[in-house]
Amino acid sequence: MSTNSQRSGGEPAAQFTWAGMYARNAAEPKGLGQGKRGRYDFAVAYPDPGSLPLAGLLDGLKQAMDDEGGDLSLYANPQGYTPLREFVAAKLQRDRAINVTADDIILADGSSQPIHMVAETLLDPGDVVLTEDFVYAGTLNTLRRFNADLRGVATDEEGMIPAAIEEAIRTASAEGKRPKMIYTVPTFQNPQGWTMTLARRKALVALSQQYDVPILEDDCYVDLRYEGTDIPSLHSLDETGRVLYVASFSKIIAPGMRLGYLTGPRPFLERAIGAKSGGSVNTFASWAVHRFSTTHLYSHIEEINDIQQDRRDAILDALDENFSGSGATWSRPEGGLFIWLQLPEHVDLVAVRDDILEEYDVGYLPGPNFAPDGVSGANCARLCFGYNQPEEIKEGIRRLASAFRAKGLIT
Ligand SMILES: Cc1ncc(COP(=O)(O)O)c(C=O)c1O
């Protein structure tokens, strides 16, 4: 009797060698599984497990199973579960003045998948993409998979600087490479924490129109506002079809639901849907999110914002207490989950990261993770305040300051 590992002649087959089989554009190897996490974990944007609406999601799911459980035998609409798209369209109209219907929405696996679809739909190797000088690493990695020529644009606490955007467009155009898009996280920016002002948004849209460079607006933190007033979406400021918009349920319900969405002009969506892998979107998750959202989403957002505001206040207090006069500066976000900590130029926070995790149990992500060139910003770190309790946040920041002092990085 032959086994899988034997040739028909009875000789055992050699182990297969994958090296040499990979596509030219295959991803570089990456460790499997998740790395070590600190007890004081400022590294990753997790919500507090205690704030997840588990009972509400379960009730919603049960109700949907009773109502339409038999539909699980179907492959759902390629754009995703229609009632959830209707909810998203109503939410976008209500909250972001984006006038769309369910037909203008594609639901997908978080907002990561729509970003991937946009990249696949627009980018040829070498195409220029402009983005913020430090921006969400997941998108940078996706854009790199399509061999984009990534160029960071200078920002300040009001967002991307219009003169710098214009200069970057002109420089690229002079090289014969009109940028394919501008990717921005304008609200509670990841990792820098600022929110682009209305004047800057208008200037960005005007530049997009003047130079014919579309915008990809990533608005996944917009609901997490703890103070101040909402600022109109870029999409609502443009009536010419140049702005694509993605957002997600990850930050307002849970990343584990893997549900997000894309909207844009229909001709674009008709191309982008072809870049969506995996058939429709998980109906099970869509049911839970839909039933929960139509009844409880807005009150849930208020609850989580109270929790997150306490954490934001705790981290700002702790930074004031432990870092004042040290040569460090940090952002003061009105919402979202991130603080951007900047140390003096010569400091290297990449070199000490693993030691600090090991010795002090504190995690952070250094600046180069968020840099379009992959190397700038070694003196910066992103601190997420979503996961730990306020008292733990204070202890974590106290430890971080001790670690930096012990290593001679701050005074
Ligand atoms: C700015 C930004 N965009 C997109 C995402 C992707 O999240 P998801 O795919 O869970 O929606 C994240 C996740 O942290 C993010 O910070």
pLDDT averaged per 10 residues, the chain (length 411) = 57 89 87 81 86 95 96 91 98 97 97 97 97 98 96 97 98 96 98 97 98 98 96 97 97 96 98 90 96 96 96 97 93 96 95 95 97 97 94 97 93 83
Whether residue 158 lies inside any domain: the answer is yes
Distance CA 190, CA 159 (A): 11
Whether residue 256 lies inside any domain: the answer is yes
Distance CA 115, CA 183 (A): 10
Whether residue 8 lies inside any domain: the answer is no
Q: Is 265 in the pocket of ligand 1 (CB under 6 A)?
A: no
Query: Same domain for 261 and 342?
Result: no
Query: Same domain for 128 and 113?
Result: yes
Query: Same domain for 189 and 226?
Result: yes
Is there a contact between 245 and 263 (Cβ–Cβ < 8 Å)?
A: yes
Distance CA 201, CA 203 (A): 5
Q: What is the 183 CA–ligand 1 centroid distance (Å)?
A: 13
Number of structural domains found in the chain = 2
Query: Same domain for 77 and 205?
Result: yes
Q: What is the 58 CA–ligand 1 centroid distance (Å)?
A: 24
- What are the tokens at 177? 């490479």
Whole-model pTM?
Answer: 0.94
Query: Same domain for 169 and 231?
Result: yes
- End-of-domain residue from the set 273, 296, 319: 296
- End-of-domain residue from the set 268, 296, 324: 296
Indicate if the alpha-carbon torsion angle 32, 134, 114, 273 is positive or negative. negative
Question: Within 13 A of 340's CA, how many CA atoms are on the CB side?
Answer: 26
Whether residue 331 lies inside any domain: the answer is yes
Residue 150, SS3 per DSSP: strand
Residue 4 has a pLDDT of: 53
Query: Same domain for 131 and 237?
Result: yes
Query: Same domain for 93 and 163?
Result: yes
The CATH number given to whatever domain includes residue 94 is 3.40.640.10
Q: What is the 77 CA–ligand 1 centroid distance (Å)?
A: 24
Distance CA 132, CA 157 (A): 12
Q: What is the dihedral of CA 32, 36, 42, 45, to 10 degrees?
A: 30
Q: Is 192 in the pocket of ligand 1 (CB under 6 A)?
A: no
Query: Same domain for 276 and 383?
Result: no
The CATH number given to whatever domain includes residue 373 is 3.90.1150.10
- What are the tokens at 324? 């004042």
Residue 313 has a pLDDT of: 98
Distance CA 187, CA 371 (A): 18
Query: Same domain for 261 and 310?
Result: no
Distance CA 280, CA 107 (A): 8
Determine the structural domain holding residue 330 and report its residue range.
40-53+299-406
Query: Same domain for 63 and 111?
Result: yes
Q: Is 110 in the pocket of ligand 1 (CB under 6 A)?
A: yes
Query: Same domain for 215 and 306?
Result: no
Is there a contact between 185 and 136 (Cβ–Cβ < 8 Å)?
A: yes
- End-of-domain residue from the set 296, 322, 348: 296
